[in-house]
Amino acid sequence: MATVEATKANFEELIDGNPFVIVDFWAPWCAPCRAFGPIFEAASEQNPDIVFAKVNTEAETELAAHFQVRSIPTLMIFRDQIILFAQPGSLPRQALDEVIAQVRAVDMDEVRREVAEESEHDHGCCGHDHGDEGHQH
């Protein structure tokens, strides 16, 4: 499967509608991004069950800001709408293959249990006791 362009208009649908999505945040002027492009594309062809999406941070500044992308390329991997991996920097092909294998091996039932437990503890956000002030974010 070839990579798909992710935009503000289709990003939520891509993440919600697919169990496994790898997102490459990049920009056309970024030499490491351009070097990583063929590696990302080749991985997409080797893993047809995974959606490989590219976000042009120049065109999609809101998406980049939402995910706090400060360095490009940045790679994020979502499984069942949960970010399991987020790392700036270009990866060599073997490293990308290893990351994909590790994320494939994750027990998502266990991850969902951990997320549920975190959200039950102390409002599930930041570990602060908000007392009678309420909870604001």
126 a catalytic residue: no
Domain membership of residue 128 (yes or no) is: no
Give the model's confidence band at 85: pLDDT under 50 very low, under 70 low, under 90 confident, else very high: very high
- Residue 76 forms part of a structural domain: yes
At 116-135, the pLDDT tens digits run 898 887 554 554 444 444 44
In a domain, 25, yes or no: yes
Domain of residue 86 covers: 4-123
Whether pLDDT at 3 is above 70: yes
Which residue is catalytic, options 6, 33, 69, 96? 33
SS3 of the chain: the string is CCCEECCCCCHHHHHHCCCEEEEEEECCCCHHHHHHHHHHHHHHHHCCCCEEEEEECCCCHHHHHHCCCCCCCEEEEEECCEEEEEEECCCCHHHHHHHHHHHHCCCHHHHHHHHHHHHHHHHHCCCCCCHHHCCCC
Looking up residue 59, the CATH number of its domain turns out to be 3.40.30.10
Phi/psi at 79 (5° precision): -130, 130
Task: Encode pLDDT of 4-61 as tens digits.
Answer: 999 999 999 999 999 999 999 999 999 999 999 999 999 999 999 999 999 999 999 9
Q: What is the pTM assigned to this prediction?
A: 0.84
Dihedral sign computed on CA atoms, order 57, 58, 63, 66 = positive
Q: Round the average pLDDT of the chain to a whole number and report it.
A: 88
77 contacts 21 by C-beta, under 8 angstroms: yes
Q: Does residue 137 form part of some domain? A: no
60 located within any domain? yes
33 is catalytic: yes
Question: Number of folded domains in the chain?
Answer: 1
The structure tokens listed for 132 are 């009678």
74, pLDDT greater than 60 = yes
* Catalytic choice (15, 30, 43, 50): 30
